[in-house]
Amino acid sequence: MAGYILRRLAFVALVLVAVSILVFGITSLLPANVAYLILGPFAPPEQVRALELKLGLTDPIWQQYWRWASGILRGDLGESMLMNRPIAPLLWEAIVRSLTLTVTSFILIGVIGVGLGVIAALRHGRPLDHTVSVATYLGIAVPEFFWAIVVILVFAAWLGWLPSSGYEPLSAGYWIWLQHIIAPVMTLVFGHLAHVSRLTRSSMIEVMQSPYVTAARAKGLPERVVVIRHALRNALLPTITVLALDFGRLMGGIVVVETVFAYPGLGRLLVFSIQNRDLPTLQAAILVVAAIYALANFAADLLYAWLNPKIRYGRSVA
């Protein structure tokens, strides 16, 4: 198992290096460089040139990359040009707020999605199954911003239970903090349930018809044990892969949801830095998203290996 973990970790590191090269390469290809952006469109060329020299922008690209990448390894992400603040604390706040959204949504998607999938599979072909299908499809078929608007209309404008947008820190009170989280989480969860529930349903239906489930029934085990211990454990394997992919999709989903709900997280930071051509912030933010994505997949691989002994050991003893 140690070997397996190390192999996967090496792979994650490789992916991050590749992503950092891509991010740096693409942002360097953009027409406007940092010196030009700092000094504004009407600065004289010699002044731009001087700043370029000072910032090292005339160095070969690989040297620039090395400076940037080694800075990141030391925890130095550079300075935001627009806010004139170091990026690291800025980014950190945004990450924490965004992860609050995504992790909560993710857990709810996992629990509700798997639960709905199992129920639909056990009631396979009956009205409850169809109801679950239609509802989850509706969630995935209509774009997130639409649901975000519906949530605002219903819960903020009509019922008045939730604030329509914004963010309050925990220090403002637990209930107030929670109120600001509920609406974006609902939107994210509804938009992602279908993947998990549909896949759990279909693999559960398949597993429930497998010989080993019949064999478990033939042993006279209680139905609860047959479903959870014998069927679900195996049926969850494909679901885990999709869950990990969904975590990545959630990171994309927050861009839309945070914008609609004016929630100051990673998504809004990304949009903001793109709109204002804040290149250092943009680079750091993209790298962070990629890292979260890679780590989510790494976690999925570990979980997968834990549930599936064939991967864990890989070869037979007899």
Partner 1 sequence: MLAIEDLTVRYRTPGGAVEALSSVSLKVRTGSTLAVVGESGSGKSTVALAAMALLPPEAQTPSGRVLFDGTDVLKLDAQRRRRLRGSRIALVFQDPFSVLNPSLRIAEQVGEGLVYHRGFSDERALSRAIELLDEVGIANPRAVARAYPHELSGGMRQRALIAGALAAEPELLILDEPTTALDVTIEAQILDLLEDLQARRGLTMLFISHNLGVVRRIADDIAVLYAGQVVEEGATERILQAPVHPYTKGLLAAIPRLGRGRTRLASIPGRLPDLRAPPAGCRFAPRCPFAVAASALPQELRHVGDRNVRCCRAQELVATAWPVQDEAASGTLRAVLSPSEPILRVDGLSKTFTLTRGFGALSFEGWRPVMRPVRVKAVDEVAIEIAPGEVLGLVGESGSGKTTLGRAILRLIEPDRGSIRIAGEAVSGKPQKALVPMRRAAQIVFQNPDSSLNPRKTVRELVGRPIERFRLAPSGEVPGRVRALLDLVRLPAHYADRYPHQMSGGEKQRVGIARALATEPRFIVCDEPVSALDVSVQAAIVNLLADLRDRLGVAYLFISHDISVVAHIADRIAVMYRGRIVETGPAEEVMRAPRDPYTITLLSAVPTVDGPPLGKRARDEIAQR
What residue ranges bind partner 1 (CB under 8 A)?
A: 2-3, 6-7, 11, 210-212, 214-223, 225, 229-230, 233-234, 307-310, 313-318
DSSP designation for 86 = B
**85 or 312: CB nearest partner 1:** 312
> Shortest Cβ distance from residue 202 to partner 1 (Å)?
18
Closest Cα partner for 280 from 16, 95, 83?
83
List of residues 6+ apart from 257 with CB closer than 8 A: 101, 144, 148, 184, 187, 188, 263, 267
DSSP designation for 32 = S
Q: Which helix (H) or strand (E) holds 313?
A: helix 309-313
**141 or 218: CB nearest partner 1:** 218
> Shortest Cβ distance from residue 10 to partner 1 (Å)?
8
Longest dimension (CA), the chain: 85
- Written as one string, the DSSP assignment of 51-80 is HHHHHTTTS-HHHHHHHHHHHHHTT---B-
In this structure, what are the phi and psi dihedrals at residue 190, rounded to the nearest 5 degrees?
-60, -35
**166 or 314: CB nearest partner 1:** 314
**60 or 220: CB nearest partner 1:** 220
Angle between helices 233-260 and 144-151 (to 10 degrees): 70
**275 or 316: CB nearest partner 1:** 316
**76 or 223: CB nearest partner 1:** 223
> Shortest Cβ distance from residue 297 to partner 1 (Å)?
16
> Shortest Cβ distance from residue 219 to partner 1 (Å)?
4
> Shortest Cβ distance from residue 191 to partner 1 (Å)?
31
> Shortest Cβ distance from residue 124 to partner 1 (Å)?
10
